[in-house]
Amino acid sequence: MNAQFESRLLAVAFASVMSISLGGCSKPVDTAAAPGPTTSVGTKVDDTVITTMVKAGLADSMDVKSFDFKVETRKGEVLLSGFVDNQSQIDRAVAVAKAVAGVTSVDNKVSLKGAPTTMGTKIDDGVITTQLKATLLADPAVNSADIAVVTRNGEVQLSGFVNNQAQIDRALELAKATAGVTNVINETKLKN
């Protein structure tokens, strides 16, 4: 790796660790309503570093750097989601993720794009994503920090690691009720 890349990667990793430290300040979590396995601060930091390293590797790879991948990590398991043009890009993204130290497995939930997107569709997709993220954030039954939202041609892909099935069901319900959504793909997983 070159020095500039390593410096940038270190800065991103530091920012990620700081966001975990401050993460508890944003939205209270009702632990009584959402019991689940606990994760230590060390594991969260390790997962954040892994996520950062995978994102940096994807950004550094000429084959896939222009695509909007969502990368989430839980106990070393990397969940990749998003939309790409062809299977070789999916294969490359999975290979990049597997090559990162600390990755125990890669769950590939990346989808192939359908028809080409127009500028109007991109704007509409951005509006759908923003509206749904705001709705998830406002809903007390959903820990919105655990759910990533990607929209392509009105099709919403939800991914991430959540505490319980009720959160998945509520997120799906809210996504389907969002104006402009034509389909919802559920790629969320229960934390283990």
Quick: pLDDT tens for 39-80: 455 556 688 899 999 989 888 888 776 677 888 899 999 999
pLDDT, tens digit, for every residue of 98-142?
A: 999 999 999 998 888 766 666 666 678 889 999 999 999 999 988
Residue 116, CA atoms < 13 Å, CB-side half-sphere: 2
What distances in angstroms separate CA 108 from CA 71, 96, 123, 144, 176, one per listed residue? 10, 12, 27, 21, 23
Tokens of 7: 């410096």
User: What domains are there in the chain, each with its CATH number?
Assistant: 3-20+41-112 (no CATH), 119-190 (3.30.1340.30)
The pLDDT tens digits of the residues spanning 142-159 come to 887 889 898 888 899 999
